[in-house]
Amino acid sequence: MILDAILRALRDDIIRTLRALALSVAAIAVLVIVALVLSSSAHAQVPADAARYRLDLRRQAQLVWGLEAPVATFAGQIHQESRWRANAKSPVGAEGLAQFMPSTAGWISGAYPGLRDNDPYNPTWAMRALVTYDKHLYDRVKAANPCERMAFALSGYNGGLGWVYKRQKLSTSPQYCLGKTCDINPGIAPGNQRENADYPRRILKQHEPLYVRAGWGIGSCTP
């Protein structure tokens, strides 16, 4: 009898201990999840520098694309290119908010009279050049829908329109960029391929929704 009572008491103590341990583990798991969510939210924010360019970007985008311009797409693209730093210069020589290479800036300033100043470090020029070049590329690609079409245009912005066409020729799904055609390496360095495939995906699936939620307007893939 005494032994049974002792065993029951031990069993009850063990059960209480296990329950307390389970609750502790669950609490820790919840705290970890909350911390991850808060950390993600902290990183997924519109940079403070973006606010000063918001109205001008909308103006430039609508001048080139019309009133239904996907402003959030272009905001996401500038976010990806320079994080809204007007004086940004990459190690390879890309300049300004839109990170135009000197050769591309020279070409577009000759092709479009409104960009004749060729001034990549001027934020207004840079935003006008970005939306103009995107429209130039968008008009020269075909896709299944506007989202995929913009993805191809962005791929061309980052890596060149010629490589977009080569990927489409190699693809069994040439009307789709994201996760399909744009993942094909048409013969470039593996590092360049990874960057080029990631470029439209980051802008359209990661940055664009951020700017839509912040009230910057519609996107190409996010209404």
pLDDT tens digit string along 13-70? 666 765 765 555 444 443 334 333 333 443 579 999 999 999 999 999 999 999 999 9
How many helices and strands in the chain, by DSSP H and E?
Answer: 9, 0
- Asked whether 200 and 151 are in contact (CB, 8 A), the reply is yes
- At 89 the three-state DSSP class reads strand
- CA–CA dist 57, 18 (Å, integer): 59
pLDDT digit string (tens) for 74-110?
Answer: 999 999 999 999 999 999 999 999 999 999 999 999 9
- Fill in the amino acid letter for 183: D
